[in-house]
Structure 1
Amino acid sequence: MGLPRFSRPKGVDSELSPNLYVANCGPAVGLSFDTIASVFSTFGEVKGVYPADDSGARVIVSYFEESAAQAALKALDGHPCPALGGRFLHIRYSIFQPPSQVNDSVPVSLVDSELNIPGIYLLHDFVSAKEEEELLAAVDKMSWKSLSKRRVQHYGYEFCYETRNVNTKQYLGKLPSFVSAIVERISSFPNLESAADIVLDQLTVNEYPPGVGLSPHIDTHSAFEGFIFSLSLAGPCIMDFRRYTEGVWPKSASSSDMSVEYPDKSSSFLRRAIYLPPRSMLLLSGEARYAWHHYIPHHKIDMVKDSVIRRGPRRVSFTFRKVRTGPCQCEFPQYCDSPR
């Protein structure tokens, strides 16, 4: 069951509510939800403490009684709170919004089997903490290319964001030696009979600052073969997936991040989401690779099984692929750019 939703905060003189919007308070300023609940419970029984938005610096404190909220607002609004590190809190009333008034969020899976998407595999702890540190140090010694919101590095072949494809005539050389052990480990990827025959020749390293995600897209069919491996390092994130109905195709492409826009909101689609912890390896193959849009929401905080997960100061992904040299022959022509 998802967390409750609340409307924009109301003014101090507005109608009373058992829910308080509290600014300058939350994980981003070093205050846990348990600590906040403990402090506010001195004014009455607290039903729950929830993130007010993606900032991590604003929360909703929900009481069972309006009188408790009124007492807390009167005592804490605009005053330093010693129990919360002396922070000055800014508090307003907030109104609970019934589920019918908001878009239901998709449940976030922790394992691939919960997604019910053929072709998705997720392995936790694919690399060790030491290997993660070494990989990050290795890429930080290399040159980054800046995009509008993130930085990238390309190896083997450069991905051209303007065309959403690769130029096979511009070979950059073999994949760097610092990923050799990772490529070898991929060859023994479980649950995939032909993994040992995979020859990966393209690597894209993405660095995501806090709150920056990836727009929805299907990797161009004609650009890459059927296996896409993505290693998450440094910070966690949520990856969402959408499968649109037959014949529905996004309107246009965005050259900045090999993405495509969604169809109209009225379009029908299936939606799934999975949590990618640091050091995990995600494989997209088959239907998951060819027919499902995947993207990373632009959030600083994610909700996973009613728990708040704050993204780290950076997330770095290593995406390994095999450049396609002939036309795609997949079973999903409605999503394919290769002529049939």
Structure 2
Amino acid sequence: MGTSRFTRPKGSDGESTPNLYVANCGPAVGLSIDEIASVFKKFGEISGVFQADESGARVIVSYSQVASAQTAIKALDGRPCSDLGGRVLHIRYSILRAPPQAKDSVSVCLLDSELGIPGIYLFHDFITTKEEEELLVAVDNRPWKCLSKRRVQHYGYEFLYETRNVNTKHQLGELPLFVSPILTKISSCPHIENAGNIILDQLTVNEYPPGVGLSPHIDTHSTFEGLIFSLSLAGPCIMEFRRYSQGTWLPSSLSNTDMQEQNPEYCSSFVRRSIFLPPRSMLLLSGEARYAWHHYIPHHKVDMVRDNMIIRGSRRVSFTFRKVRAGPCQCEFPQYCDSQK
């Protein structure tokens, strides 16, 4: 949820923005965020709906385009909305205030070529909006497993968070049929070398609520092979990559990767890069990027991307595809490799 520190309403004669401050609307008056989103998305793509303050009776609706906000305010302001229990909505344009930037913030790239990290590829619009909706419906019809801050589903093999590996003796079955179109697209992707020979047998689906990210880590070398595919659905985020100096800090050998976030001075020697992951994009980690760089999703509700504030949606869902390794890893990065220590 957002808070009032991010927003301030403008008068109806103020400059149009893609963000709307909507009063008489919110959980405190019996309306869920999903119900509100379903009404406002009729006027265009929304990047999120957030509580405007602690009252729960006012929300911010953030559109991707100013024109969508203009259409919505003309249709709904001062009029009873039958889809929201007949409530009369009072709407003004809103300016989003960026949260203070950390002193050590890193510039966010939009393209993989800007990162300068060998082995990272980002494919925009890897799937269509319709395919995205079908995938979300499919996983929402399956049972979720609740972790402390997010929900997950595992297919093929269950990922064991305590040991950061899988039990190869306990296969859950084949990957579900609803991901077959994704696997087909991967195998026919002209930008991936030997794409037709890629075999993926493990899938983890993660659902991230607003503000929840992912601690820095390298997927265990001895557990998974050299290609990791991650499809982003529903909401945007940024992903940061860190290359630590040899021997400085190797969380792949530690059980608690949150140590780095809690004690940043413990690992001060590293190089950082960051990239924006829009919905429906596919990220491929291979080679150096997969074996030597930690990847990390900051625990933010709002991301600054080249002076633009990107609000994370009410949820972000990722599909991470991997191939379980049958033998020891023999990569070219032994300092990060548990098989070669």
User: 2:334 is matched with which residue?
Assistant: 333
Q: 1:313 to 1:254 in 2, by over 3 A?
A: farther
SS at match of 1:295: strand
259, 262, 266: which one aligns with 1:261: 259
Match status 1:285 vs 2:283: no
SS at match of 1:157: coil
Match status 1:272 vs 2:270: no
- Distance, in Å, in 2 between the alignment partners of 1:127 and 1:316 is 14
Deviation digits for residues 201-239 of structure 1 (CA, Å, limit 9, x no counterpart) = 000000000110111100000110000000000000000
Contact 1:26 1:56 in 2 (8 A): no
User: 1:247 is matched with which residue?
Assistant: 247
Summarize the alignment of residues 297-316 of structure 1 with structure 2, pairs less than 5 Å apart: 297-316=298-317
Q: Letter of the aligned partner of 1:293 in structure 2?
A: H
User: 1:321 is matched with which residue?
Assistant: 322
Deviation digits for residues 33-67 of structure 1 (CA, Å, limit 9, x no counterpart) = 9669xxxxxxxxxxxxxxxxxx9959xxxxxxxxx
- Distance, in Å, in 2 between the alignment partners of 1:184 and 1:272 is 30
Match status 1:24 vs 2:25: no
Q: Letter of the aligned partner of 1:128 in structure 2?
A: T
- Distance, in Å, in 2 between the alignment partners of 1:132 and 1:30 is 34
User: 1:130 is matched with which residue?
Assistant: 130
Deviation of the 1:177 alpha carbon: 0.1
Contact 2:163 2:255 in 1 (8 A): no
Q: Letter of the aligned partner of 2:268 in structure 1?
A: S
Summarize the alignment of residues 162-311 of structure 1 with structure 2, pairs less than 5 Å apart: 162-250=162-250, 253-254=254-255, 259=257, 261-262=259-260, 264-265=264-265, 267-311=268-312
Contact 1:221 1:336 in 2 (8 A): yes
After superposing on structure 2, the runs of 4+ consecutive aligned residues of structure 1 that deviate more than 3 Å are 25-36, 55-58, 84-87, 250-255
Deviation of the 1:267 alpha carbon: 2.5
SS at match of 1:178: helix
SS at match of 2:280: coil
Q: Letter of the aligned partner of 1:297 in structure 2?
A: P
- Distance, in Å, in 2 between the alignment partners of 1:31 and 1:302 is 26
User: 1:143 is matched with which residue?
Assistant: 143
Contact 1:117 1:288 in 2 (8 A): yes
Q: 1:25 to 1:268 in 2, by over 3 A?
A: closer
Q: Letter of the aligned partner of 1:159 in structure 2?
A: F
SS at match of 1:133: helix
- Distance, in Å, in 2 between the alignment partners of 1:308 and 1:147 is 29
Q: 1:28 to 1:227 in 2, by over 3 A?
A: farther
Contact 1:226 1:289 in 2 (8 A): yes
- Distance, in Å, in 2 between the alignment partners of 1:197 and 1:328 is 19
Contact 1:217 1:260 in 2 (8 A): no
Summarize the alignment of residues 106-117 of structure 1 with structure 2, pairs less than 5 Å apart: 106-117=106-117
- Distance, in Å, in 1 between the alignment partners of 2:273 and 2:213 is 16
Deviation digits for residues 19-41 of structure 1 (CA, Å, limit 9, x no counterpart) = xxxx83645989999669xxxxx
Summarize the alignment of residues 59-138 of structure 1 with structure 2, pairs less than 5 Å apart: 103-138=103-138
- Distance, in Å, in 2 between the alignment partners of 1:234 and 1:270 is 30
Unpaired runs of at least 5, structure 2: 18-49, 54-89, 94-99
- Distance, in Å, in 2 between the alignment partners of 1:279 and 1:305 is 21
Contact 1:112 1:122 in 2 (8 A): yes
Q: Letter of the aligned partner of 2:4 in structure 1?
A: N
Contact 1:151 1:207 in 2 (8 A): yes
Deviation of the 1:318 alpha carbon: 0.2
Contact 1:145 1:151 in 2 (8 A): yes
- Distance, in Å, in 1 between the alignment partners of 2:327 and 2:162 is 21
Q: CA RMSD in A?
A: 2.9
Identity of aligned residues (%): 68
Q: Letter of the aligned partner of 1:184 in structure 2?
A: T
Structure 1 length normalisation: TM-score?
A: 0.70
- Distance, in Å, in 2 between the alignment partners of 1:57 and 1:117 is 39
- Distance, in Å, in 2 between the alignment partners of 1:297 and 1:56 is 21
Q: 1:306 to 1:285 in 2, by over 3 A?
A: same
Structure 2 length normalisation: TM-score?
A: 0.70
Unpaired runs of at least 5, structure 1: 1-22, 37-54, 59-83, 88-96
Q: Letter of the aligned partner of 2:279 in structure 1?
A: P
Report how many aligned residue pairs link the two structures.
260
Q: 1:285 to 1:339 in 2, by over 3 A?
A: same
Q: 1:249 to 1:30 in 2, by over 3 A?
A: farther
Deviation of the 1:249 alpha carbon: 2.2
